[in-house]
Chain A
Amino acid sequence: MFKYLPHTKKDIEEMLKVIDVNSIDDLFLEIPEELKKLDLNFPNGLSELEIYDKFNILANKNKNLIPFVGAGAYDHYTPSVIKHLIGRQEFLTAYTPYQPEISQGTLQYIFEYQSIIAELTNMHVSNASMYDGATATAEAMFMATNVRKRTKILISKTVNPNIVNVVKTYAKYRGFTVDFVDEKNGITDIDDFRKNNSKEYAGIIVQNPNYYGIIEDLSDFREILDDSKGLLIINSDPSSLALLKSPGEYGADIAVGDCQTLGIPLSFGGPYIGYLATTKKLMRKMPGRICGVTEDTDGKRAFVLTLQAREQHIRREKANSNICSNQSLMALFVTVYTAVMGKQGLVEAQQKSFNATHYLYEQILKLDKFSEVYKQPFFKDCLVKSDIDSEIINEKLLEKGILGPLNLGKYDKSKNNLLLFSATEKRSKKDIDLLVSILEVL
């Protein structure tokens, strides 16, 4: 017997009698014999105590560091209540709400999540979630190319290179072309955009705050796109939208991004959650699940998956996206985070992250060996140029348990020793002063 396998010998015998076979192996007779000769190289099972020992050893091979880097994954505070609520079996162990009468819990939080995303982005409608911010951006490209029946898309050079890579991969196999718009002084070069934009392009993908943490003013983008009837796709950190001008206010057609910044632990890159929101006009062109309001036969308000005619299980080869499972439980995570942090807390956490990053930036620039790269407003990532090799810096910081900045040279050799730091509301003045004191003596 084994704890996850409840059948006793007697159960098995009784069941086999009903099926009218002699043994369980008789249920596998149609499988060719030569395929069934397995000898797996695999250890025997471990008890719970042994499992804990094993994973304690594995965890000890890691080292927890204090991050002073963001670049797509930020160390924000996670209120305690979240893990208790999202760990409830009613949420955790359910599947996609195919039977709405017994899935009102899942459907309601999806509706609340969609509402929160719509509010932060100022867009008409959000879907129930995407895998991550990068794949959400790729899906936005698919939406734009489908809506405009064009096969090319523009992307700004100030977009995070991981997002660019994912968009390029998705585009390549479907036969779409991704062309870059240049950057100038750390932001999208609007003149280059104006010059290269044409009716061949389904639209442009920009990121705000961008890869360098710089807050771009996107006010002129809509007008340029109106000439070419291209779509404006803005990738934003949703937490920044508690303070910053939203994609909707810039006239975006599609807003995407990663909700990791809404309290989701770093957990080595995932699970996070992508969001995708759009206008009323494009609602029926969205990928993924959408929850809507309806009534039951007694006239009671209820929630249900809606506009499903867009999706793969109905449209099959005619669907524009293949997404089925998304990141539903992480949508609940984001919803509970937003509920407990609330209107004030979202602003406070982001303002404090903004303050910490700016204090850090000021202190670093006081040091001889570090200098400013761009004179631009930034949010919670900041870029500095270092005269010292980044490997030496990060090694020294590591000795003190600090995760140092991202060297942009990792993705672009010409940007070697341009260092991207970040600080959140979790970083104290003391932490920052310690970091600066280490840099000072290098």
Chain B
Amino acid sequence: MYYDKLIFEISNSGRKGYSLPDFGISNYEIPKDLLRKEEAILPEVSELEAVRHYTNVSFKNFGIEKGFYPLGSCTMKYNPKINEDISSMPGFNLHPYQPISTIQGSLEIYYETQRILSELSGLHTFSLNPYAGAHGELVGLMIMQKYHQDREDFKRTKVIVPDSAHGTNPASAVVAGFESIEVKSNPDGTVNVESLKELLSDEVAGIMLTNPNTAGIFEKEICEIAELVHDAGGLLYYDGANLNPILGVVRPGDMGFDIMHINLHKTFSTPHGGGGPGSGPVGVVEHLVKYLPTPVVKKVNNEYIIEDENDTAIGQISHFYGNYGVVIKAYTYLLSIGKENFANVGKHSVLNANYIKESLKDLYLLPIKGVCKHEFVFDGLIDKSNHVTTLDVAKRLLDYDVHPPTIYFPLTVKEALMIEPTETESKVAIDSFIEVMRKVAIEAKEDPDLVKGAPYNTVVKRLDEAQAARKPIVKYRDLLT
């Protein structure tokens, strides 16, 4: 049966689900005029009612442990259980104001994680303070801005972003105080070097690139691009969303990138949590280290210390040290994988993506031919005569217990279906996905209305998204009127 109650709708006045000790401290009065007068509607349930409610709510979700989750650009790899156990060890549950001598273990984890990220990426030093990928982009671009300002080069107000970039790139550029300008892509999604040359000038602060790009294609002219941008006085920013396929094979630092962020929740296996908490460490080349945000964790004479302030940093961008609990999970993963397995992480993710691409290209339109990296993009079905769209295909996949790929992104491909399998999926799982995709393509040909009406087996059917925006109901109280 479909469970559709809200926690407020199962509440009963006077019921409770907690217990607190009575320590015999007497009651103190809050001045009356400082107290709230409006009564808040809050849940009142027993402990079991709360547990049963959220267990039933959870059944309405699809997670990686249920089935294949090939969401492009999101790197939905397995989230190891041990990561969770380690991060919740009581020894790491510390107040952020504890003195240095009592937090050496936690600072060592912070320091060592940033050191491993440096080794894997080829950049000199990382700050783990940024909370997410987009936050990392913002921090990285603030560093870019401060670098130019320090050289008293105030003309550089523009950042170049490819038209195929993640939406966060142009948004981050603007929020960091730049103007975002677009460089055209080649048909294969790579940067058009000739267009780039035309855009480069003494007004350009830098370029943001994802490599491999959002179509899963490696920018093979990256060394030339780096030289062109550097010669024009700009810096190169690496969007680490697509780092997974090149892990242990090639490093952004060696390609000529000056600043980058890494999504620990993508490449380093920490759970996505329904959209966070993630972690977006930012790394820089040596001459930019002084700009990294405060507080900074350092190692001095075998002791780990925290530098709260320095005059050269861009400033503070988080209340404390970012999503520290997520960092512990990523460090656990890094230590588990080890040197001998790293290259296979990237390589097997690429193998899986190419295998799917080759197995489906007779039914789905492949706009960019040739070898891809961790992901690739189909432009919908080849046979479009029945007008079955990418959205229809995605919704039909739900009936087969597969999480659909990313759809309608990148914007450069009209009916985009962006597939990223990750290395933790076995050939068995991938073969069954291929079988489902083929079945849906055949259904689209033989019984298109079946696909257009999907999904059928989900707890709710297709939703009226326009209605939600027209008359927004955004809280329980709105349902009462």
Size bracket of the B interface: 35 or more
- Residues of A near B248 (CB, < 8 A) are 38, 40
- Supposing A31-B218, A91-B273, A217-B33 touch, asked if A42 and B342 sit within 8 A by C-beta, the answer is yes
Q: Are A18 and B355 in contact (CB under 8 A)?
A: yes
Q: Are B63 and A340 in contact (CB under 8 A)?
A: no
Question: B12 CB to closest chain A CB, in angstroms?
Answer: 10
Chain B contacts with A in 274-301, Cβ cutoff 8 A:
274-278, 293
Question: B34 CB to closest chain A CB, in angstroms?
Answer: 5
**CB nearest neighbor in B for A162:** B319
23 contacts between A and B (CB under 8 A): A4-B337, A42-B116, A59-B105, A89-B63, A91-B63, A99-B403, A103-B62, A109-B54, A118-B474, A268-B93, A270-B320, A283-B472, A294-B467, A295-B463, A313-B167, A315-B167, A323-B132, A330-B277, A343-B43, A354-B28, A425-B20, A427-B23, A430-B23
Question: A342 CB to closest chain B CB, in angstroms?
Answer: 5
Q: Are A398 and B348 in contact (CB under 8 A)?
A: no
- Residues of A near B463 (CB, < 8 A) are 100-101, 294-296, 302, 304
For A308, A313, A318, the residue with the greatest tally of chain B CB atoms inside 10 Å of its CB is A313
**Complex Cα spacing A302 to B324, Å:** 34
**CB nearest neighbor in B for A139:** B175
Q: Are B168 and A322 in contact (CB under 8 A)?
A: yes
Q: What 0/1 pattern do residues 72 to 112 of A give for CB contact below 8 A with B?
A: 11010101010111011111111111111111111011011
Question: A207 CB to closest chain B CB, in angstroms?
Answer: 13
With an 8 A cutoff between CB atoms, is B220 at the interface?
yes
- Supposing A101-B455, A106-B274, A283-B472 touch, asked if A46 and B336 sit within 8 A by C-beta, the answer is yes
Among the listed stretches A50-58, A197-205, A224-232, which one makes contact with chain B, having 4 or more residues with CB under 8 Å of it? A50-58
Chain A contacts with B in 43-69, Cβ cutoff 8 A:
43-46, 48, 51-52, 54-65, 67, 69
Question: A361 CB to closest chain B CB, in angstroms?
Answer: 9
**Complex Cα spacing A302 to B57, Å:** 12
Chain A contacts with B in 287-339, Cβ cutoff 8 A:
289-298, 300-302, 304, 306-309, 311-330, 332, 335-336, 338-339
- Residues of A near B473 (CB, < 8 A) are 292-293
**CB nearest neighbor in B for A311:** B167
- Supposing A241-B36, A377-B34 touch, asked if A111 and B475 sit within 8 A by C-beta, the answer is yes
- Residues of B near A345 (CB, < 8 A) are 16-18, 20
- Residues of A near B316 (CB, < 8 A) are 134, 162, 165-166, 169
**Complex Cα spacing A352 to B50, Å:** 23
- Residues of B near A346 (CB, < 8 A) are 42
Question: A383 CB to closest chain B CB, in angstroms?
Answer: 15
With an 8 A cutoff between CB atoms, is B138 at the interface?
yes
For B11, B271, B275, B350, the residue with the greatest tally of chain A CB atoms inside 10 Å of its CB is B275
Q: Are A317 and B180 in contact (CB under 8 A)?
A: yes
**Complex Cα spacing A249 to B37, Å:** 8
- Residues of A near B82 (CB, < 8 A) are 48, 51
Question: A263 CB to closest chain B CB, in angstroms?
Answer: 10
4 tightest A-B contacts by CB? Answer: A45-B338, A59-B91, A269-B320, A329-B273
Q: Are B324 and A269 in contact (CB under 8 A)?
A: yes
With an 8 A cutoff between CB atoms, is A438 at the interface?
no
Question: B133 CB to closest chain A CB, in angstroms?
Answer: 6
With an 8 A cutoff between CB atoms, is B464 at the interface?
yes
Which of B105, B249, B358, B409 is within 8 Å of A31, CB to CB?
B249
Q: What 0/1 pattern do residues 18 to 49 of B give for CB contact below 8 A with A?
A: 10110111111011011111101111110100
With an 8 A cutoff between CB atoms, is A135 at the interface?
yes
Q: Are B171 and A40 in contact (CB under 8 A)?
A: no
- Residues of B near A394 (CB, < 8 A) are 99
**CB nearest neighbor in B for A321:** B175
- Residues of A near B7 (CB, < 8 A) are 112, 335, 339
Chain A contacts with B in 9-32, Cβ cutoff 8 A:
11-12, 14-16, 18-21, 24-32
Among the listed stretches B196-204, B378-386, B418-426, B439-447, which one makes contact with chain A, having 4 or more residues with CB under 8 Å of it? B418-426
Q: Are B272 and A62 in contact (CB under 8 A)?
A: no
Q: Are B98 and A65 in contact (CB under 8 A)?
A: yes
- Supposing A173-B142, A355-B26 touch, asked if A328 and B41 sit within 8 A by C-beta, the answer is no
With an 8 A cutoff between CB atoms, is A140 at the interface?
no
**CB nearest neighbor in B for A273:** B277
With an 8 A cutoff between CB atoms, is B170 at the interface?
yes
**CB nearest neighbor in B for A85:** B54
For B23, B103, B474, the residue with the greatest tally of chain A CB atoms inside 10 Å of its CB is B474
Which of A43, A83, A106, A175 is within 8 Å of B339, CB to CB?
A43
Query: Contacts A6-B427, A336-B50 given; 6 further ones with Cβ under 8 A?
Result: A56-B91, A89-B65, A90-B59, A132-B318, A307-B469, A321-B175
**CB nearest neighbor in A for B430:** A15
